[in-house]
Structure 1
Amino acid sequence: MYSDGSWHYLSAVRSPSGLEMSIDNVNVGQGQTLKPSELTLGGEKFKGCIANLYTRRLDLSFLPADLSSLSQMGDVVLGMCRLNPSSQAMTLPAPLLQRPQRHKTIRAQSATKASRCRHPAQHGQYRLSELHSWLSYNIPPEDLNYRPHFSLEVRTRSSKGLLLHVSGKGDISLLALFMANGKIKLSLGQNRIIQHKKKSNDGNWHRVVFSVERNTFHLLVDGIRVTDGALSNDEGSSLDLHNPVYLGGVPKHKTSNGHLIPKESVIGCIRDFKLNEVLVGEPVASRGVSPCLDRLSETGTYFGGNGGHIVLDKYFTVGSRFELAFELRPQHLTGLLFHVQSHKTSLNVFLRDNKVGVKVNDGSGVVSVSVIPHQNLCDGNFHVVTVSKQHKVIKLVVDSVSEQKAGSSSSASYSTTLDSLYIGGISGTTKRNSVPVSSSFVGCLRSVRVNGRPVDFEAASSVVGPVSVNKCPAD
């Protein structure tokens, strides 16, 4: 029952295999694929609130729906919600809340208690590890251009570098937050700069708040407000800033307008990025970024989600025999662990709702095996997993629980070609319908072995997104 007056997150995904629905990040089942039809919100019997509606096609980014542009019938009120006639009306959730991103399903974005383990992950905390590191965000223009109020926290020892960069087309062609000589500065327009007097590159966390009004722009560092910057002719009322919004540096093909503005990123950590007091959510893309781990750490590889993964080129063969062994400690209960795909063969190892699953196609047909361990995967301990294939038999062992299944009796012409091994997720160029779950793994892996040989992540062909190759938080 969901008529409890609380918000619930619902997603429906149509794929070639059918229609899948989840509520509050719990999979409630699959059905037959439906034909496209007219989208209707509400109905004769529905009384309640709908917010944060996103739609997408498989090959496009998530698109926020402008409900005011839709045809309205009956008693519909935009912008406010009243569940009980005697209760006070409440404002709908801000559209920035947990914004869905490219290459990730809506369900993976909702991150409710049902999907996350109780020990907290350090989400939204990123290390900018090189001069060309950056994260990019897409923000609704109406939020970006109407008196925007930004805030973030930064920890660095860099004396110079970009922290935030937004380009514009109007009178104000640039909004940039950056460091110079160890001091945090804010530029609005062509070299119109205000700055904090104290140096902030001391390796400690500093909270930065900045905003734009009609005739002024403001900057506060650790609660200390600097002298406001002045805008003429109500310039702040006619902002024409546009996406993407960059944290850290900007891509090499971009320019940072103004000769006083650095083009390269600070080296350090950024967290708690908000607009109008609401977490902006996940970036749509990133480069040179890894998780920023404050807590005690231990040996392992930490995947911070948001599309983070490792690729080992020409590394794995789905042949007549193989063994893949590893230890995992997840922070989400759904995510892709390993993926191999060739023309005729494939291997997927994944998590779904506290269950470890394996799906193998060796060229003679698909075999699926799953195991629900005796201990909950969210218990904060590492769990040992082994996936093996001996001819047509697939065996999966999680701790002391094992399941196995035999494939087709028909003889397969096994390939000996080495294919790329994706760990923790897949690249955007990979077909999304080729994997059982499209969300990335969040958590730690260690002791990964293929056919008894340790996997050297530091020798990976590529590391994409927030991945800490040799260090995990010691939860």
Structure 2
Amino acid sequence: MTVAMEEGHVIFQYNLGSGVATMKSDNTYHDGEWHHVEVARQQRNGVLKIASETIQAESPGNVKQFSSTPETMFFGGYPGEHDYIDITNEDFNGCIDNIVMSSVAVDLSKSKESIDTAPGCPIKVASLVSFDKSAPGYVKYDSPDGNGLQLVFKFKTEEPDGLILYTSTRNQNSYLSLSLAESALILRAAPGGELTTGSYEKYNDSEWHVVIATREHNELRLDIDDFKSYAVKVAEQAVPFDGPVYFGGVPEIYNIAAAASATDTNFYGCIGDATLNSKLVNFAQSQDRFNAHLQKCPLQKSSSVFEKPSVEEVRAEVSQTFLSDGCALPVEPAQEEVPTTEGFRFDEDYSSGYGFGSKRNSRIQFNALPGSTRADFKFSFDFKTTADEGIIFYASGKTHRDYITFYLKDGKIVFSFNTGTGAALMRSEQSYDDGAWHSAVVERRDEHGMLFIDGFQVANGTGKGDSKFIDLKEPVYYGGIAAEVADVVRPNTEGTELSFNGCLRNFRLNNQRVGGSHDAYGLIRCSANVEPGIFFGDGPRANVILRKRFSVGRVFEMTLDVKPRKNSGVIASVHGRRDFVILQLNNGSVELSVDNGKGVITARYTPPSPWMLCDGNWHSIQVIKNKNIAILVVDGTSTNPVSGKIGATSTDTKNPLFLGSQPLVQKRRGGATSERFVGCIRNVTVNKELEALAYTTFVGNVNAGSCPTI
């Protein structure tokens, strides 16, 4: 017998042994409000009552009672996964109270066991909302404080049209709207005019895009993905928008100002991490919400990182893999079935597989831990990595004075905790960035802490002050931290903020597995078929912004290793108004093109075979630009110096320096190939300085933590 929710509907089911009786509400009740539910069974007859609905059903067959009475009942979820295909395996996310069974009150605080629960009913925080095409909806939010508006958010969608945001003054004489129209973003304001990203940029690619839409002072501005900006000056000052703010669309009875939006279609997709005038938008505390799904994104590929892909799914993906002509590795890396015992790899970004990318902040956020960490505790986990820095676990109180953390620093494991009056810090003497599996235990007993690795105690420490307890608040971070908390976390982690770049498994607290309700970002199953580097996948967007504003100048040198999966594609580029530098593969040849303003200078390396550089091995490339001379060195073989016109020695650029094929490179000068670079890059230096790739900006289908080798 079960009472459950699916897609907002309440469902009552039971099976006496001769078939299932099912009662399902017509209405949905996932609105954040309290609802009273009654279910009853009299022999084969059942009834479900909720609000004004009454649904009745009768079980098939002749059996009238259960053959036995269960010893245990579960509320809110089921440990692990059950095998009943008619019943959801999703745990309930919300509050339950006032349970009465056969006139007897049930006190859940006296249960035999509780996992991922908390007393009371805390205020729900929802930073993610999604809208389904089959049921258009919207979220109505309070009007923002102050003059004008600045909205910061991320979104992804498959649809070319949709109203993302609309707000106005109460009389709608002034308004602001942000829409997708024919796959372009359009920001309209009155007074103010319109900004559009144009027809070249397509934002309905099912990838996350970060947008800052601003109407402040005398300016209308759009900033997208940290490297595209559009702005126009406005004669009139921004006014306070005292009307409501709508996300995803507006109610049918609400008439927006004429021509205020570039589309009359509702938005279908996901919106997340929004702030209005620097205040976090909590979609769960909206004034009104219709057909809006909180904390779920229908475009994500898996509902839980703890699910294992079925063999059929893996084979289907493998069957679509094909080899590029003559190249040793497939354009799409081969899929493999990796045992769950191998754990998860935490990478800086990975847009396929189990998680969804948050750039260099891959992690799991747990809403609760299976045991108490207020006094004594013991965490255990296995890890392997070749990186020398990264956060393994971080949890803190509201002010981050109370905290527990363990992380990798200079290849050594560090464990620290603070009761609010002084930190205990323990550090291993040995480095463990050797790519092998290691087992770690961190333990606190009273004010003392101990760090064990591979069964040996490697460090101990003592906290300071009189406080005995550590008070933590959700969420707790595993494998990395969210970008918005990095500034307050750094003082507690010796400046470490990067996600753990490696594999983690068997995470336990006080010998209990850490699991339950969680959000996952940028995870893949751990595999032996990877190596260090950056992987650029196939698709319209896959690039890295090495420098946001880069001037090539008179002398420029760049080195890198490449392992391509196609024999054509732009490897690196930077442009100015006229000048540029482009490094690309073109039908197997390596080409360096430079323009100082007086014509293109091209150095070209042509190997014996057009497939030599995509033979599955790493190849080194060195770019040298010295005044008006260009030189290429590939695998130690140098081209002859190529000279340009005398008089122009500086390459004047001020735009980003890209690694990989940025979307607009074909529209710029330089004769870039139409093919996108697919493959791996590592060991990048610019002007003899090694690039800290983990701190750069990744766009689209880029995995910056590891390169697949299959």
Q: TM-score range by the shorter chain?
A: 0.3 to 0.5
Q: Name the TM-score, length of structure 2 as normaliser.
A: 0.30
Higher relative contact order (CA 8 A, sep 6+): 1
